[in-house]
Structure formats: structure tokens, C-alpha cells
């Protein structure tokens, strides 16, 4: 199961500084999108807006036609109650740059936490969690605590945790940036296996090679403006915008 993401006029500013300037973006269901851009370009903000971790000043995000975090009230968009937002987030998995695993819970407890909180039967959540851990190659670490794992292993647990609710969408916020270079591959490998699983994937990353190989769609963001988008062959191989070229030159240098 999957759903298309529609972002319209996403606008956000922090204390006078505008970080998103009316971004419009449509991502087809089941595709893999990589968002590129220099640091401070607003790409993480855009990603976090998709599951309403960032509240937009203007604009909306819709998932399979359902508005996320807001609802229509008269001729305005109005923020939803926290409880409803939390429920909507169960359709959207999120993987953080710094993993943000719960350090006081074991690996297995981390993965079953969300389903159990949502009322899934304990035994079901547990067997599903073990299946997910097997999928990311960490079934033997189920009873370890996160700090006993390497960074790459922790990020794989975080991916399993994000998958535990069987979401339609998975968001990755620079999932390999906090990792030692030799650990990047194992995490990217896991993400690669998710591509084509039917889930809509959105990945903020600097891994151009990964984008070229896995992405269906590449988006380039700069200073809160969507400068360029298209298939990786176009955007990465023949960027039209000079700033995109600049960026790619620096990253690939």
C-alpha cells in the first residue's frame, strides 16, 4: 500500500528568515525521491513538514489526498489536535540523522514501542518486530541496548522501528551523515531494498551515487526555493541551473 504526496506552497520562516518559499512538489506513490541541496537550503525542513514535525506557515501537505496536520475550517487551513496528528504520523515513518533510538529500551522494545502504543496486540507486534529486525540483519541484537551497537546498526534498527507501523511513506533525514564512512554502505543497502517495495520513499542525502542508482526523482532545493527536479539522469547528469551545477561540482569533487 502506498500513497502519493502532494506539497503545495510550503512556506516557513524562523524569526524573520524564510527557509521555505512556496515549494510545490508532487511525488508519485511508490517512488523514491532524493532531495538535494546545500546546507541551510531548507531540505530538512521540507522533509519534516511532510509528517508535521515542522508546522508550515502557509501551504499544505497531503498524503493520498488526506491533509496532514491541518484540516479545512471555513476558508482557512486550521491545525489539527495533537492526538489526530499523532495518529496521522503512524502512516509516515521517519528516520533521523542521529537515529534517536530510545537508549533505555532494548532494540526489540524500540521497535515494538509504536505498535504497542497504537494498540497492536503485544504478541503480534513482537513477531512483526523480529521479522523486521531479521530484514535489517539484526535479529541477534534484539535484546541489546542501542548504545551497545555501532552507528550503522543503530540506524538499521531505526529503520526497522520506522517500518513497524507499516507506513505508506518513509522519510529519511540524512540517514548516513552521522556514520563513519565504512558504515554508510550497510544502511544504504537497507534503504535500497525498500525501494520498489511499494512504499513512497523521500530521502534527504548527500550521497549522489545512491541518488543516481536508486532514485526515481531528484529534487534540488536552494535557499528555500525548488530550483530543479526530474529524473536523476537529467538533474544529476545535465543540471540546467548553475547553482545545481555548482553544488554537484562541490559534492562530487
Partner 1 sequence: MPHSTPTRLRTLGALAAAALLVSSLAACASDASATGADAAPDGTVTVGAHSNGAATETSIEVSTVESIRDTLPKEVLDSGKLVIGVGALPAGFPPLAFTGDDNETLTGAEPDLGRLVAAVFGLEPVVQNSTWDNLFVGIDTGATNVGFSNITDTEKRKEKYDFASYRGDNLAFQVLASNDWDFDGDYENLDGLTVAVSSGTNQEKILLEWKTKLEAEGKTLEVVYFPDANSTTLALNSGKIDASFGPNPSIAYQNTTSQSGANPTRTAGTFSGAGETLDGLIAATVKKDSGLAQPVADAINHLIENGQYDQWLAAYNLENEAVETSLVNPPGLPLDNN
Partner 2 sequence: MSGLSTRVRAASDGGRASATPPGERGAPDDATAPGTPLPPGIDLKRLAERPVVPLRHPVRWVITAVVLVLLLNVVQTLFTNPAWEWSKVGTWLFAPAILKGLQLTLVATAISAVVSFLGGIVVALGRISGNPVLSTLSWLYIWLFRSVPLILVLIFLFNLGNLYPTIGIGVPFGPQLEVPTFTLLSSLALGVIGLSLSEIAYSAEVVRSGILAVDQGQHEAAKALGIPSRRQFTRIVLPQALRSIVPAYVNQIIGLLKASSLLFYVSLLDLFGVVQNLGSTYPTDIIPLLVVATIWYLVLTSAISVVQYYIERFYARGSVRVLPATPWQRVRGGLGGLVRSARSSQSSQSSQSARSSHSSPGGVR
CB atoms within 10 A of CB 104: 10
Q: Interhelix angle for 151-163 vs 122-135, to 10°?
A: 130
Q: Which of 101, 239, 53 is nearest to 44 (CA)?
A: 53
* Residue 109 vs 223, nearer CB to partner 1: 109
Return the one option of partner 1, partner 2, none that residue 191 interacts with (CB less than 5 to 8 A, by type).
Answer: none
Q: For 106, phi and psi rounded to 5 degrees?
A: -70, 170
Residues touching partner 1, count (CB under 8 A): 11
Which residues 30-89 are close enough to bind partner 2 by CB under 8 A?
51, 53, 82-83, 86-89
* Residue 72 vs 86, nearer CB to partner 2: 86
Return the one option of partner 1, partner 2, none that residue 103 interacts with (CB less than 5 to 8 A, by type).
Answer: partner 2
Q: How far is the CB of 158 from partner 1 (least distance, A)?
A: 18
Which residues 65-124 are close enough to bind partner 1 by CB under 8 A?
105-106, 108-109, 112-113, 116, 122-123
Task: Put residue 30 in one of left, alpha, beta given phi > 0 → left and psi -120 to 50 → alpha.
Answer: left
Beta strand spans in 15-143 (E): 17-27, 32-36, 58-63, 66-67, 70-73, 76-79, 92-95
Residues touching partner 2, count (CB under 8 A): 32
Which residues 132-191 are close enough to bind partner 2 by CB under 8 A?
145-148, 161-162, 165
| Nearest-angstrom CA–CA distance, 249 and 108 | 42
Q: Give, for 220, the enclosing helix (H) or strand (E).
A: strand 217-222
Q: Which of 229, 244, 249 is nearest to 34 (CA)?
A: 229
> Rule CB under 8 A: is residue 125 a binding residue for partner 1?
yes
Q: How far is the CB of 108 from partner 1 (least distance, A)?
A: 6
Which residues 29-68 are close enough to bind partner 1 by CB under 8 A?
none
Residues that bind partner 1 (CB under 8 A): 105-106, 108-109, 112-113, 116, 122-123, 125-126
Residues that bind partner 2 (CB under 8 A): 51, 53, 82-83, 86-90, 92-94, 96, 98, 100-106, 113-114, 117-118, 145-148, 161-162, 165
Amino acid at each position: 500500500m502506498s500513497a502519493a504526496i502532494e506539497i503545495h506552497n510550503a512556506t516557513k520562516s524562523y524569526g524573520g528568515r524564510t527557509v521555505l518559499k512556496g515549494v510545490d512538489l508532487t511525488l508519485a506513490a511508490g517512488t523514491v525521491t532524493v532531495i538535494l541541496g546545500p546546507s541551510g537550503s531548507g531540505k530538512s525542513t521540507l522533509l519534516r513538514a511532510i509528517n508535521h514535525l515542522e508546522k508550515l506557515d502557509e501551504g499544505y501537505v497531503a498524503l493520498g489526498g488526506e491533509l496532514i496536520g491541518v484540516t479545512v475550517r471555513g476558508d482557512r487551513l486550521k491545525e489539527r489536535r495533537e492526538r489526530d496528528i499523532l495518529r496521522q504520523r503512524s502512516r509516515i515513518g521517519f528516520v533521523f540523522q542521529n537515529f534517536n533510538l530510545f537508549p533505555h529500551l532494548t532494540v526489540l522494545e524500540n521497535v515494538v514501542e509504536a505498535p504497542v502504543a497504537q494498540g497492536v496486540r503485544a504478541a503480534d507486534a513482537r513477531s512483526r518486530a523480529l521479522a523486521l529486525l531479521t530484514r535489517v540483519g539484526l535479529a541477534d541484537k534484539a535484546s541489546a541496548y542501542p548504545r551497545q551497537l555501532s552507528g550503522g546498526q543503530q540506524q538499521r534498527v531505526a529503520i526497522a522501528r520506522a517500518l513497524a507501523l507499516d507506513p505508506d511513506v518513509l522519510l529519511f533525514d540524512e540517514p548516513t551523515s552521522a556514520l563513519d564512512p565504512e558504515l554508510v554502505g550497510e544502511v544504504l543497502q537497507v534503504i535500497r531494498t525498500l525501494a520498489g517495495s511499494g512504499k513512497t520513499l523521500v530521502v534527504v542525502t548527500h550521497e549522489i551515487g545512491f541518488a543516481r542508482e536508486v532514485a526515481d526523482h531528484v529534487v534540488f532545493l536552494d535557499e528555500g526555493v525548488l530550483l530543479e527536479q526530474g529524473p536523476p539522469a537529467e538533474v544529476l547528469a545535465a543540471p540546467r541551473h548553475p547553482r545545481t551545477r555548482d553544488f554537484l561540482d562541490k559534492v562530487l569533487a
